[in-house]
Amino acid sequence: MTAEALHAEAHAEKAEQGLKELANWITLVSEKWHGAPWADFLHHWENVVFAWTIALGLIVIAFLGTRKTRPIPGPFQNFLEAVVEGLENFIGEVLGERGRKYIPFIGTLFLYVLSQNLIGVVPGMKSPTSSLNTTVALAVTVFFYVQWTGLRENGLLGYIGHLMGSPRDLVGWIMVPLNFPLHILEEFIKPVSLSLRLFGNILGEDSLIAAFVTLGIAALAFFHLPVGLPLQFPFLMLAMLTGTIQALVFSLLSTIYISLMLPHEEGAESTH
């Protein structure tokens, strides 16, 4: 890491008074052209810029992969089909055959969160999911989607009945004053836990990498070299692993929340 990047990092750290993160290309641009409205705009909306870049990247990949599909696929089409099939199997195991219509949403969610988590490992880039704003946005989207699914699949009365704990007998109805507020609280706990879990893990990883980069530079500071020891390398591997796991957990929990909202199958065990 160059001295300029280190300075940018120190400036960012002082400005935000938060955990250290490595400088990215926007930080360097805003340092170089500090005071220019477009540079300050980019710096202010850093996470949105990275999130949109990733979204556009995924859109381009999907477009290129589905532009000229062939019965005998080429390598790129084959790769995309393997990814989609993997997602279908993963989501299908939780939701079953009735859950096929949710595969586009959850599959896209998984790929988007995964890409956002892993992009931070690339030098000069930043994980948008290391910001609470991004993870809250994702979690709130899932929250509204789950509630909308509940309303659509159960109807309004069925949805309210679900929130009351689906009372079937006298005991069920007696428990309604307890079940109803608890269930409403549960629904609000879901997006909070989803967002905090993802944010905490990704910010923690990025801060760990930044700390070891700083340590690596400090280790060679005595020799006044413009580079540092690559002490962060094992943590880049760890970041890739935990980034993948967190994307999986986010998507799996979203899938489970959708499945909990769906009408119970005949003879199925109630989870309420």
* Among residues 197, 229, 238, 263, the one that binds other proteins under rule CB under 8 A: 197
Binding status of residue 256 toward other proteins by CB under 8 A: yes
Q: How many CB atoms lie within 10 A of CB 98?
A: 13
Q: Residue 60: what are its φ and ψ, rounded to 5°? A: -65, -45
Structure tokens at 239: 């970041």
CA angle 96, 142, 105 (to 5 degrees): 50
* Among residues 38, 144, 188, 233, the one that binds other proteins under rule CB under 8 A: 188
Binding status of residue 196 toward other proteins by CB under 8 A: yes
d(CA 133, CA 270): 35
What's the closest the beta carbon of residue 165 comes to other proteins, in angstroms? 10
What's the closest the beta carbon of residue 193 comes to other proteins, in angstroms? 4
Part of the chain binding other proteins (CB under 8 A), chosen from 16-24, 156-164, 181-189, 222-230: 181-189
Closest to other proteins by CB, 19 vs 253, is 253
3-class DSSP state of 147: helix
* Among residues 80, 175, 253, 262, the one that binds other proteins under rule CB under 8 A: 253
Binding status of residue 30 toward other proteins by CB under 8 A: no
Chain center to CA of 39: 26
Binding status of residue 200 toward other proteins by CB under 8 A: yes
Of 106, 116, 95, nearest to 203 by C-alpha is: 116
Part of the chain binding other proteins (CB under 8 A), chosen from 19-27, 83-91, 102-110, 194-202: 194-202
Binding status of residue 73 toward other proteins by CB under 8 A: no
Binding status of residue 84 toward other proteins by CB under 8 A: no
Which three-class secondary structure string do you get for 190-231? HHHHHHHHHHHHHHHHHHHHHHHHHHHHHHCHHHCCCCCCCC
Closest to other proteins by CB, 39 vs 182, is 182
d(CA 2, CA 5): 5
d(CA 51, CA 113): 10
Part of the chain binding other proteins (CB under 8 A), chosen from 78-86, 122-130, 156-164, 186-194: 186-194
Binding status of residue 190 toward other proteins by CB under 8 A: yes
Part of the chain binding other proteins (CB under 8 A), chosen from 10-18, 20-28, 124-132, 177-185: 177-185
CB 120 within 8 A of CB 126: yes
Q: Residue 236: what are its φ and ψ, rounded to 5°? A: -65, -40
* Among residues 3, 93, 160, 264, the one that binds other proteins under rule CB under 8 A: 93
Binding residues (CB under 8 A) for other proteins: these are 93-94, 181-183, 185-186, 188-190, 192-193, 196-197, 200, 253, 256, 259-260, 269, 271-272
